[in-house]
Amino acid sequence: MKQIIFFVFLFIMVFKGFSQKIIERPIIYDSTRKALSLQYLQERHNLTLTEPSISPKIIVSHWTAIPTLEGSFNAFNPVLLPNVRKELKGASPLNVSIHFLVDRDGTIYRLMPENLMARHVIGLNWCALGIENVGDGNKFPLTEAQLKANIWLVKYLKKKYQSIEYLIGHHEYTSFQNTPLWKETDANYRTEKSDPGKEFMEKLRNGVKKLNLKGSY
């Protein structure tokens, strides 16, 4: 009987595969974060809204440049931007945030609702869903498990939101300047990014090529 159960379980694993899970681990989202998000949308994107909601058109993949899950989560959790991020604080006191955080073993955490604006990509926050991967391109390069999790997550999001047209790496965001999707009001507000790198994005795009998502503009 035990052998039968084992082979049935093996059959399910092989032919159906494991379903990826999203673990809920929300960052602080209080009235202050909401107010600052609305202020950001107004001042940075020239959008006057009553709720800081988005209709996603772009998925942006990042790396955290922090080697641990806890360190990465703690970077996003506070509502206010820390003083060390001076290059960003001049634009808004709102802390950076992200919709999804992927640990090095491929575990996916949802840090905030997908329909709310997260501050993670200049010029495009109003329509962008963000995926952060724990690690960097040097001492802690992104893992195969993270790549597989990103592939699964992009497919999940595209199925859920047919409005999504683009998949980009953070390092590609400036290609949207001078396009209808770009809404940064300050022509001088830019930061130079290298994450998550050309190689990772090539593999990610190859893994979701059937979705026909566009790359950089």
Neighbouring residues of 123: CB distance < 8 A, sequence distance ≥ 6: 173, 174, 176, 177, 181, 182, 183, 184
Instruction: Work out the percent of the chain whose per-residue pLDDT is above 70.
Output: 91
What pLDDT sits at residue 73?
Answer: 98
Residue 47 near residue 182 (C-beta atoms within 8 A): no
How far is Cα 106 from Cα 146, in angstroms, rounded to an integer?
Answer: 4
Paired tokens of 106? 């491929």
Whole-number average pLDDT of the chain: 92
Residue 88 near residue 81 (C-beta atoms within 8 A): yes
- How confident is the model over 108-118, as a mean pLDDT? 98
Q: Find tokens 């495009």 and name the residue.
A: 124
Neighbouring residues of 108: CB distance < 8 A, sequence distance ≥ 6: 20, 21, 22, 23, 100, 101, 102, 149, 152, 153
What pLDDT sits at residue 111?
Answer: 98
Residue 15 has pLDDT above 80, yes or no: no
What pLDDT sits at residue 127?
Answer: 98
- How confident is the model over 80-95, as a mean pLDDT? 87
- How confident is the model over 186-207, as a mean pLDDT? 97
Q: Which amino acid is at 78?
A: P
How far is Cα 94 from Cα 212, in angstroms, rounded to an integer?
Answer: 34
Residue 52 has pLDDT above 60, yes or no: yes
Residue 18 has pLDDT above 90, yes or no: no
- How confident is the model over 49-65, as a mean pLDDT? 98
What pLDDT sits at residue 86?
Answer: 76
User: How sure is the predictor about 89, in pLDDT bands with cuts at 50, 70 and 90?
Assistant: confident
Q: Is 177 exposed, middle or buried (0-12, 13-18, 19+ CB in 10 A)?
A: middle
Q: What is the pLDDT of residues 123-167, one digit of tens each?
A: 999 999 999 999 999 999 999 999 999 999 999 999 999 999 999
Residue 7 has pLDDT above 50, yes or no: no
Nearest 5°: the CA angle 157, 64, 175 is 65
Residue 40 has pLDDT above 80, yes or no: yes
- How confident is the model over 182-208, as a mean pLDDT? 97
How far is Cα 172 from Cα 162, in angstroms, rounded to an integer?
Answer: 22
- How confident is the model over 104-128, as a mean pLDDT? 98
Q: Kindly give the interhelix angle for 198-207 and 144-160, rounded to the nearest 10 degrees.
A: 50
How far is Cα 27 from Cα 17, in angstroms, rounded to an integer?
Answer: 31
What pLDDT sits at residue 211?
Answer: 98
What pLDDT sits at residue 9?
Answer: 38
- How confident is the model over 88-114, as a mean pLDDT? 96
Q: Determine if the pTM surpasses 0.75.
A: yes
